[in-house]
Amino acid sequence: MAKSWATLGVDLHLEPSGPHLRRGLTDALREAVRTGRLAPGTRLPSSRSLATDLGIARNTVADAYADLVAEGWLTARQGSGTRVAEGTVTAPPSPTGSPGPRAPHRPTHDFRPGTPDLAAFPRAEWLKAARRALLAAPHHALGYGDPRGRAELRTALAGYLARARGVRADPDRILVCSGIAHGLRLLGTVLRARGVHTVAVESYGLDAHWNQLTQAGLRTPPLPYDDRGTDPADLGDAGAVLLTSAHQFPMGLPLHRDRRTAVVDWARRTGGLILEDDYDGEFRYDRQPVGALQGLDPDRVVYLGTASKALAPGLRLAWMVLPPSLAAETAAAKGKVDTSSALDQLTLAEFLTSGAYDRHVRASRLRYRRRRDALLAALTAQAPDVHITGIAAGLHAVLRLPPGTEQSVVQSAAWQGVALHGLTYFRHPDALPDGLDAVVVGYGTPSDSGWTGALEALCRAMP
C-alpha cells in the first residue's frame, strides 16, 4: 500500500485513492490545489523525492505532474522545479451547496478601542533586551517554572509598580498571567471556591471580563454610573467588586475620591475584595495623576495590570498583585507550572530594569497626546454637535452625540471604511438604559502613517 505522506521539499499530505495510482495521485494533487491546501507558487517535491516518500514508481509521479501541467494546475520550468500555477485556487462549496460566509471585511481605518499602535512596538529595543536576557538566563529558566511567573519579572514589576503607580507589591505576591481575562478567570475560580456568589461590576465595560466571572458561576450585577463615575454605594450581597478606578472604561472618568474611600471602607468592613483593573494607567495627560486604588489597602485590593496597552497585546503578559490571604490560592488555581513564555518574561524584566520600558512609555504618551489633541481640534472644527469626554487619560475618547443618532453614526462610519463601536456595545445587559448616545473612539490603533486619513474619515461620519 502506498504511504499517505511526503516529507522531502514541501511537507505534503496526499492520499492517492482508487485502483490506478497515476489517476489517484493526479486527483489528490488536483484537489489539494483546488481547495487551497497548496497555495499558488508552492514548489512541489521533485518526482524522485515524492516517489520515494510515497513508495511508488518515479514515472508515476512524473506522469501525474505532466497531466496537471497540461491542465494548467501546475507549471514546470527548467531550474525552477514544479510549482502550483498562479490563480488556481477555487473556494470549495459549502456542505449545503450554497455560498459560504464571506470573510469579515477589514476596515480601512480602525477606531475600535483596546489596542495601541502596533506599528510603534519597539522592535529594536525589545530585540536587544531579549538578547541580553537570553544570554544571562540560567539553564533552569527554560524549564516549566514557578506558576507565579519568573522571579526576575516579578521583582522588576514590584519596583516599577511601586514607583510608577503607587502599588505596594511584594514579588512573592505577584502572579504573572496571560491577560486580564486570564487573571479574572483565576480569581473567579478562587472566589467561587470561597463561597462568593456575586461580584459587582461597572455598568459599562468589557463583556469578555464579565463572562470570565459568570463562567465561574458568579453573578455580575451592574453598579449605577453618574457624572462622578461608578457609584459603589449599594454593593448589596456582593463579595467583590470589579472597577477600572483610575480611568473608567469606556466612559473615561476616574473614580471620585469620596467613592474611592467609600469602596475601600466597604471592603474593610465586610471582608470583601476590590478587583482593580489598571489597564492603561501609564497614559495620563493632565497634571493630576491618579494612583492605584491598591495603595490604600493592599490587603483588600487585587491589582491587575497588563503590557497590552503600553507594548502589545500579542505578548500575552499581564500580572496581578494579590493580598497575602489570596496569593497561595490563586497560584494553586493557575496550576503547577507557569503558562507564560519564560523568554518573554525575562525580556520584559530586562526591558523594565534597563529603563527601556520607561522611555517607550514616555515616547508613546507624547505621541498619543498629540493624536488626542488633533482629534479634539478636528472634531471641534468639523462636528460642533459632538461633545468629547474621557480625554484626560488612556487611548480612547467618548463622543457624545445628539439623541437618537448613535446607530446612524456607526453605520455612516462603516460607509466611510471606519470601524468603531457605539457606547451601547459596552453596556452591561442588566444595566438600566440611560439615554446616552455616543461612540467610543480608540485613537491608539491607527498607525502614524494612516492617522491623518483616519481622522478625516472619522469626521466625515459625524452628524
For the chain, how big is the Rg over CA atoms in Å?
28
**DSSP symbols for 25-66:** HHHHHHHHHHTTSS-TTPBPPPHHHHHHHHTS-HHHHHHHHH
Buried residues in 230-258 as b, exposed as e (16+ CB within 10 A): bbbeebeebbbbbbbbbbbbbbbbbbbee
Q: Using one digit for the tens of pLDDT, what is the confidence trace for 279-326? A: 877 888 876 668 899 999 999 999 999 999 999 999 999 999 999 999
Which region among 145-154, 266-275, 429-438 has the lowest average model confidence (pLDDT)? 429-438
- pLDDT at position 9 is 53
Residue 414 class from Cβ within 10 Å (0-12 exposed, 13-18 middle, 19+ buried)?
A: middle
Q: Using one digit for the tens of pLDDT, what is the confidence trace for 158-200? A: 999 999 999 999 999 999 999 999 999 999 999 999 999 999 9
What confidence category does residue 95 fall into, taking pLDDT thresholds of 50, 70 and 90? very low
Q: 267 near 297, Cβ under 8 Å?
A: yes
- pLDDT for 100 beyond 80: no
- Fold category of 121-358 in CATH: Aspartate Aminotransferase; domain 2 (3.40.640)
The CATH number of 5-84 is which of 3.30.70.360, 3.40.50.150, 1.10.10.10, 3.40.50.720?
1.10.10.10
- pLDDT at position 343 is 96
Q: Using one digit for the tens of pLDDT, what is the confidence trace for 108-159? A: 899 999 899 999 999 999 999 999 999 999 999 999 989 999 999 999 999 9
- pLDDT for 5 beyond 90: no
Q: How far apart are the first and last CA of the chain?
A: 70
Q: 176 near 348, Cβ under 8 Å?
A: no
How far are the Cα atoms of 205, 224, 313, 329, 357 from residue 186, in angstroms, in the given order?
19, 26, 19, 9, 27
Amino acid (one-letter) located at 278: D
* Beta bridge partner(s), residue 24: none
Q: 40 near 85, Cβ under 8 Å?
A: yes
- pLDDT at position 89 is 55
256 vs 197: CA distance, rounded Å: 27
- Fold category of 110-115+360-461 in CATH: Aspartate Aminotransferase, domain 1 (3.90.1150)
Residue 94 class from Cβ within 10 Å (0-12 exposed, 13-18 middle, 19+ buried)?
A: exposed
Q: 46 near 55, Cβ under 8 Å?
A: no
How far are the Cα atoms of 50, 164, 183, 357 from residue 346, in angstroms, in the given order?
43, 20, 20, 13
Same fold, 5-84 and 110-115+360-461: no
Max Cα–Cα distance, the chain, nearest Å: 84
133 vs 131: CA distance, rounded Å: 5
Q: Domains of the chain: which residue ranges?
A: 5-84, 110-115+360-461, 121-358
Phi, psi of 32 (to 5 degrees): -65, -35
Mean pLDDT of 388-407: 93
Q: Using one digit for the tens of pLDDT, what is the confidence trace for 64-85? A: 998 898 888 899 887 778 888 8
Q: Could you tell me the pTM of the whole model?
A: 0.80
